[in-house]
Structure 1
Amino acid sequence: MTTHARIIIIGGGIVGTSTLYHLAKAGEKDALLLERRQLTAGATWHAAGNVHTQSAYANLSALQAYSLRLYDGLAEEVGQEVGSHIVGGFFLAQTKERMEEFKHLAGKFRSIGLEYDLVTPDEIKAKYPLLNVSDLEGGAWDPEEGYVDPYSVTMGLAAGARKYGGKIKQNCQVDSITRLPSGQWRLTANDEVFECETIVNCAGFWAREVAEMVGTTVPITNMEHQYLVTDTMPEVAALGYELPMIRDCDSQYYLRQEGQGLLLGPWEQNCRTAWSKGRAPWSFGQELFEDDWDRLGDGLASIFHRVPALDSAGIKRGVNGAISFAPDGRPMIGPMPGVPNFFVACGFLGGIAQGGGIGLAMSQWILEGETELDLHFIDVARFGDWTTREFARERTHEILPIRYELIYPGIERKTGRPLKTTPIYNDLLSHGAVMGQAYGWERPLWYAPNGEVDEPSFQRPNWWDHVGREATAMAAGCGLSDMSSYGKFRISGPDAQAFLDHIGSAKVPSKPGKVALLLMLNERGGIVGDITIENSDDGSFYCVGATMGVALYQRWMEDHAGDFAVSIENITDQFAAIGIAGPKSRALLNTLSADDFDDFPFMSSKQIDIGRVRCTAIRISFSGELGWELHCPMLNQKALFDALMTEGKNHDLILMGGRAMGMLRIEKGYRSWGAEMTTEVTPHAAGLQRFCSKTKDYIGRSVVDRQRDIAPAKVFVTVEVDANAPPCWGTEPVLKDGQLIGYVTSGGMGWRCGKMLAVCWIDAKHRTIGGALDLQVLGQIYLAKVLADPVFDPNNQHLLG
């Protein structure tokens, strides 16, 4: 006998159960959850249960805030107590640098409507008298911090799921998954058979094994993590109220009340992979690992220093359980690239805090095809086949001991590098390149003249002026950028043009040698991504997009290929790209090529020879200066680079990194994917309607047309910020007469105009040119003035020259 369901969820931890709950509550009556043992039997049952809103990512904070409020109201909704304790919490700072981070976060949370108040050591002591605050600089207070009983919350969500029509089957271990000719999935579990349209992999420790059943993988690493619970402490019992949560960010631990004692959770500096090779045995149930207190020595010493009363406290129990990590410590959710109708929700470092919101997001993704919030930063598509098990292990061992690290803007990881390099990688290093990593690629951020390395800061970092010199030198001469990490696709087949017209907002170039910029929109008109399309004169189209969007773009295109006779080939690794920009770029290229760069219109392309290398030259420039992108086979990049560098000495050629380009594009008014171009923003609001056709049909057009004659509620503006202000890095609040009207999406220095700039997403009624706004940067208010956009070269004289 075969059991049929439209949707099957594998895994009954808090995330899987929350996903079922939200699917059922949204009206999906044909969803079934299969749990290997009993609900919560993986990581959920032994979790510490902490819930909080604080995150380095604004939309993850929003999901966590939703979780907290959902759990707190579950008892009333389903009639089952869930052990919710909203007691507030302190984040402690031992250094001025940490307090600076708290100032940055306070602005971020204000911009999304969450409280996060800076406090003094005395204010902390007043609410938590057991703390030694003598060596604290201060801290931050979040009134919505708290904890829940993970088992009870999961059972509450399960009760809600059943109430709304969801089904749960326990003691049902999935053994195999196959795809039927119909496209449906067949699962075998024990001796039973199940069939469904959609699978949701919420298998926790076993998420990799479940993914492998369908021919793919997810880069999770299972790690051990320990916490302790003390016996009753007279000092706690005598208070008469419940103590707030504590996170000592500099000493890397969390602390909360448990009964009349305390729960102590230091993050292990000597971290350990769970099980011998990180793979959980299928037989593992509600079990723990043997206690290993030696690994907690330094962490416990820090906690005992902070709470002297612990010296006389006994240990009631220890918990040494497993948790699953993604290589960057963020969840992995969404449709699995390359595997239709297979969704993933795994890798939760804070699964209890995130479970409610993730379940909501997953239900939206499954039922509506998209999420309300832009979640590209936790999309499983941010990883690819370059993310090996060893890479994941190395990266996890780097980030677990620094769970509460200072999250500076542009922070880079050290492990798992280098991984993907271009043929000119060593050449760039020899010229002082300071590399960052994006989608596995090493790419230059800036060029250090004296062997300097990144010294991150919320103020102007050590690279600030060097980046300025790169930008101004390019604007006076010409600059070379390695753009090889950009995503590249070859779209071919009889319906290639029709397909691209369907998924892209602008008219696809029908003539060879023509180039267009297209926006990919969802059905709500939100911007999924942007791609440059070149008609290659052989019936195919060469498409270029954002580095971090490679797998996401490919998934989007494949999901919307429908009945089109089209081939979508990811050729990113096969082709290199070098950008040449600046007023002397044409002279440089004319010297190296017999082809004529004088007769080369903007947004066009040619097959040309640069020295010994045949290239596709595309007349386009993200810097706003005269420029070209030179695309060639990856194996030829070294020869192309050498020719450009040799002749470039006669044309004031400099090397330019990604950070300079990021600031130059702000001056030019160009929007960036992931910052201004997100699924929450439509072309109308972003000022990008010029890239939206009025004559052809495409995904999202109905929304674009509906908004054409309607004033948007919110818009992007570029502002000049007080020159004395620290840089804006994103999410700083924008105020008018003391009222929140928006937030910063990007910031930097306008090196050509000599102004500190920021791009702001604000209420449209405040976009008056010359109008005064206030920006809250690191806790201080700075004056900003709305500028006409673009700030640099509004008539495109440089770009089109």
Structure 2
Amino acid sequence: MTTQARIIIIGGGIVGVSTLYHLAKAGETDALLLERRELTAGATWHAAGNVHTQSAYANLSALQAYSLRLYDGLAKEVGQEVGSHIVGGFFLAQTKERMEEFKHLAGKFRGLGLEYELVTPSEIKAKYPLMNVSDLIGGAWDPDEGYVDPYSVTMGLAAGTRKYGGKIRRNCQIDSIKRLPSGHWRLTAGEEVFECEIIVNAAGFWADEIARMVGTRLPITNMEHQYLVTEAMPSVEALGYELPMIRDTDSQYYLRQEGQGLLLGPWEQDARRAWNKSDGRAPWTFGQELFEDDWDRLEDGLSAIFHRIPELEQTGIKRGVNGAISFAPDGRPMIGPMPGVPGFFVACGFLGGIAQGGGIGLAMSQWILEGESELDLHFIDVARFGDWTTREFARERTHEILPIRYELIYPGIERKSGRPLKTTPIYNDLKSHGAIMGQAYGWERPLWYAPGGEVDEPSFDRPNWWDHVGREAKAMAEACGLSEMSSYGKFRISGPDGMAFLDHIGSAKVPSKSGKVALSLMLNDRGGIVGDITIENSGDGTFYCVGATFGVALYQRWMEDHISDFDVRIENITDHYAAIGIAGPKSRALLNALSDGAFDDVPFMTSKEVEIGRVRCKAIRISFSGELGWELHCSMLNQKTLFDALMTEGEKHGLILMGARAMGMLRIEKGYRSWGHEITTEVTPQAASLERFCSTKKDYIGRAVVDREREVSPTKRFVTLEIDAKAPPCWGTEPVLKGGTLLGYVTSGGMGWRSGKMLAVGWIDSTDTTAGDTLQVQVLLETYDAQIVSDPVYDPDNKRLLG
């Protein structure tokens, strides 16, 4: 007999149960959770249970805040205790650099409506009298810190699931999964057979094994992590209140009360893979077991904790917990529809699964039932990884980030492990010219060029690369600049319905003539912007589309999900084609010199097949810098030859190499929006001032919202702000105020090198603001005047762009 369900969730940890709970609460009762052993028999049951609201990512903070509220109210909802304790928490700072980070975060969380207050050592001591604060500079206080009993919370969610009609099967290990001709799934578990429309892989340690059953992979690394629980401490019992949570960020440990003792959690500097095997996979037989205690690895961490809480030197250890946790390569969760595998969702890789579980369950239920989560979650979308994310890369990156769990998160910080991975033919040439590389979707691409062998020295103020980036930007605007753009996503759309398909998924009218180019927005049904793509009519019945580097897999998934009955073929050709950008007032002269004057008749937003030296290129006249410019697309095999020709001839035209950081600032001067910053699923075209790219003559996904907002403006919008020149740069999430009242926050910032103005893009309440109004921006807890200016700040008549 076959058991049928519309949705099957694999895995009974807190994330899987939370997803089922939220599906059932939303009215979806045709959902079934299959658990290999017993609920929580993975990472959940032995987790420390810490719940915190703050995160480096705004929407992850929102999900974690939701988890805190959900858990705290769950006992009342389901009628059983879940062990919720909201006690507040301190973050400790031993260095001025850490206090600078806390200032940055305090502004950020204020911009998100969260509390986060800087405190002195004496204020910490007043609430935590056991603590030695002699070497602390200060700290931060978050009133919404707490902890729960992971087992009890999961069982509380399970009780809620049953209340709302969800179903759970225990002792049901999946052996195989096959796709049926109908597109549905058949799962076998011993003698049992299940069929469903949608699978949710919440299998934790075994998530990659489940993924392999459907022909894909997940870059999961299972790592050991230990914490200790002490015997009861008389000083704790005598307090009469529960101690706050502690995170000693400079010494890399967490600390909280457990009963009348303390729970001590150092992050191991000697990071070790769990189940110390060649592949690091968890055995299917693993249940609610622990690894053997290995306290020698905690020696440095425990020494730091004993220094902070001297009484621990005379306190016994009650028990040790050495369990496994699953890591994604960047330490963030992996959730959402698996690219290339319709009907297969992922929710795994949770370093903070207890804190995130409630909110992730909500987001997953929305994604499954409504096709999208309410919040933009591209930064934890499984689509941010591709086939370039090998098991070895994941292992190396995990070993880098686990020991520095509480590292200083500077703006633009770059990881070092697992690199280089994806390189273009001119990678070594760019390095020889001083390129400081960053990694984007696996690709190595230049961030800036160091003339004297410098390296990145990050800062919350002006970092060491600030003036160098300015030099690149200004030199390009005076002559011409070359940018490596090969990492941009590139797609070929073909088939009888290619034009109709692109007209359906994109807001702009697709060019009907060969060599014409359009910029189109892909919108969801709520009018939110999924992404933006440049569409070129190639003249042979195909269309060449270019999009954001980090959106490659997400764009492809979106297009494939909306093929419907269109007879169309979507090819991701990113790895096959290189792209070089040439921009600046002398760019035409440079390119003409290499092409017998072929660039005299290439109007803006058109393309042309040209020969530059010995290389045939597709030259697209478009420019993200706002200067006269072209993107030159050619076979990846020919990029080196093209680059050499451009560099040789470029000496006569003042050609300079320009990195991504300069481009990121140049586009703000032109009022251009960036994917992942201003272009998100929570933002409509009108709110982003992009309605000019939305047709009024054809139908497309999201048009109803666009038309409605042409009549009634959205209540929030983006504005460009000119900030007091004395202010440090805005990096994102700084609060925007009006008369002390919070209006919103910054999404991007930087120097307008051509206009000489410090700029930022603010996402604000637009009901009573207009160009010319003076607002305030809070940077590192200092308040600076910021005036709303009309876009674009630079070349408002586009004379240079169209020249």
For 1:577 and 1:532, how far apart are their aligned partners in 2? 14
Residue 543 (structure 1) shift: 0.4
Contact 1:595 1:609 in 2 (8 A): no
Q: Which amino acid aligns with 1:646?
A: T
SS in 2 for 1:685: coil
Contact 1:481 1:580 in 2 (8 A): yes
For 1:594 and 1:341, how far apart are their aligned partners in 2? 53
Contact 1:595 1:608 in 2 (8 A): no
Matches within 5 A, 1:33-182: 33-182=33-182
For 1:137 and 1:553, how far apart are their aligned partners in 2? 46
SS in 1 for 2:776: strand
For 1:133 and 1:569, how far apart are their aligned partners in 2? 59
**Identity across the alignment (%):** 84
For 1:331 and 1:725, how far apart are their aligned partners in 2? 35
1:212 aligns with 2:209: no
Q: CA RMSD in A?
A: 0.6
Q: Which residue of 2 aligns with 1:374?
A: 376
Matches within 5 A, 1:761-780: 761-780=763-782
For 2:519 and 2:644, how far apart are their aligned partners in 1? 30
Q: Which residue of 1 aligns with 2:437?
A: 435
Q: Which amino acid aligns with 2:222?
A: N
Contact 1:331 1:349 in 2 (8 A): yes
SS in 2 for 1:263: strand
Matches within 5 A, 1:191-206: 191-206=191-206
Q: Which residue of 2 aligns with 1:320?
A: 322
Matches within 5 A, 1:731-742: 731-742=733-744
Q: Which residue of 1 aligns with 2:357?
A: 355
Q: Which residue of 1 aligns with 2:554?
A: 552
Structure 2: give runs of 5+ residues left out of the alignment: none
Q: Please list the CA deviations of residues 445-472 of structure 1 after superposition, one character each: whole Å capped at 9, or x if unmatched.
A: 0000001010010000000000000000
Q: Which amino acid aligns with 2:43?
A: A
Q: Which residue of 1 aligns with 2:283?
A: 281
For 2:578 and 2:752, how far apart are their aligned partners in 1? 29
For 2:597 and 2:559, how far apart are their aligned partners in 1? 35
Contact 1:177 1:186 in 2 (8 A): yes
Q: Which amino acid aligns with 1:170?
A: R
Q: Which amino acid aligns with 2:679?
A: M
For 2:360 and 2:794, how far apart are their aligned partners in 1? 41
Q: Please list the CA deviations of residues 209-237 of structure 1 after superposition, one character each: whole Å capped at 9, or x if unmatched.
A: 00000000110100000000000111111
SS in 2 for 1:743: strand
1:18 aligns with 2:13: no
Matches within 5 A, 1:552-591: 552-591=554-593
For 1:684 and 1:342, how far apart are their aligned partners in 2? 33
Q: Which amino acid aligns with 1:114?
A: L
* 2:499 maps to which of 485, 497, 500: 497
Matches within 5 A, 1:634-713: 634-713=636-715
SS in 2 for 1:20: helix
Q: Which amino acid aligns with 1:313?
A: T
SS in 2 for 1:246: strand
For 1:769 and 1:339, how far apart are their aligned partners in 2? 47
Q: Which residue of 2 aligns with 1:183?
A: 183
For 1:727 and 1:111, how far apart are their aligned partners in 2? 16
SS in 1 for 2:401: helix
For 2:422 and 2:647, how far apart are their aligned partners in 1? 23
For 1:138 and 1:85, how far apart are their aligned partners in 2? 25
Q: Which residue of 2 aligns with 1:396?
A: 398
SS in 2 for 1:344: strand
For 2:416 and 2:634, how far apart are their aligned partners in 1? 30
SS in 1 for 2:582: strand
SS in 2 for 1:174: coil
SS in 2 for 1:686: coil
For 1:293 and 1:632, how far apart are their aligned partners in 2? 56
Moved more, 327-336 or 756-765: 756-765
Q: Please list the CA deviations of residues 522-555 of structure 1 after superposition, one character each: whole Å capped at 9, or x if unmatched.
A: 0000000000010001100000000000000000
* 1:457 maps to which of 459, 463, 480: 459
Q: Which residue of 1 aligns with 2:731?
A: 729
Residue 701 (structure 1) shift: 0.6
Q: Please list the CA deviations of residues 132-152 of structure 1 after superposition, one character each: whole Å capped at 9, or x if unmatched.
A: 111111111000100000000
Q: Please list the CA deviations of residues 615-654 of structure 1 after superposition, one character each: whole Å capped at 9, or x if unmatched.
A: 0000000000000000000000000000000000000000
Q: Please list the CA deviations of residues 120-169 of structure 1 after superposition, one character each: whole Å capped at 9, or x if unmatched.
A: 10000000000111111111100010000000000000000110000000
Residue 595 (structure 1) shift: 4.5
Q: Which amino acid aligns with 2:236?
A: V
Q: Which residue of 2 aligns with 1:332?
A: 334
1:524 aligns with 2:526: yes
For 2:413 and 2:459, how far apart are their aligned partners in 1? 9
Q: Please list the CA deviations of residues 485-531 of structure 1 after superposition, one character each: whole Å capped at 9, or x if unmatched.
A: 00000000110000000000000001000000000000000000000
For 1:638 and 1:548, how far apart are their aligned partners in 2? 24
For 1:570 and 1:599, how far apart are their aligned partners in 2? 30
Q: Please list the CA deviations of residues 329-382 of structure 1 after superposition, one character each: whole Å capped at 9, or x if unmatched.
A: 000000000000000000000000000000000000000000100000000000
Contact 1:606 1:616 in 2 (8 A): yes
For 2:467 and 2:792, how far apart are their aligned partners in 1? 23
Matches within 5 A, 1:784-795: 784-795=786-797
* 2:343 maps to which of 322, 341, 344: 341
Q: Which amino acid aligns with 1:96?
A: K
Residue 594 (structure 1) shift: 2.1
For 1:641 and 1:327, how far apart are their aligned partners in 2? 33
Residue 712 (structure 1) shift: 1.9
Residue 707 (structure 1) shift: 1.0
SS in 1 for 2:786: strand
Residue 54 (structure 1) shift: 1.2
Q: Which amino acid aligns with 2:718?
A: F
Q: Which amino acid aligns with 2:350?
A: F
Q: Which residue of 2 aligns with 1:7?
A: 7
TM-score by length of 1: 1.00
For 1:166 and 1:569, how far apart are their aligned partners in 2? 39
For 1:615 and 1:168, how far apart are their aligned partners in 2? 58
For 2:147 and 2:714, how far apart are their aligned partners in 1? 40
* 2:416 maps to which of 393, 414, 417: 414
For 1:221 and 1:331, how far apart are their aligned partners in 2? 12
Q: Which amino acid aligns with 1:418?
A: P
For 2:80 and 2:531, how far apart are their aligned partners in 1? 43
Q: Please list the CA deviations of residues 382-427 of structure 1 after superposition, one character each: whole Å capped at 9, or x if unmatched.
A: 0000000000000000000000000000000000000000000000
Q: Which residue of 2 aligns with 1:252?
A: 252
Query: Where does structure 1 differ by over 2 angstroms across 4 or more consecutive aligned residues?
Result: none
SS in 2 for 1:650: coil
For 1:769 and 1:487, how far apart are their aligned partners in 2? 35
Residue 767 (structure 1) shift: 3.4
What is the aligned length?
801
Residue 721 (structure 1) shift: 0.6
Residue 766 (structure 1) shift: 4.3
Residue 786 (structure 1) shift: 1.0
Q: Please list the CA deviations of residues 259-307 of structure 1 after superposition, one character each: whole Å capped at 9, or x if unmatched.
A: 0000000000001000123100000000000000011011000000000
Q: Which amino acid aligns with 1:466?
A: H
SS in 2 for 1:707: helix
Contact 1:717 1:767 in 2 (8 A): no
1:444 aligns with 2:443: no
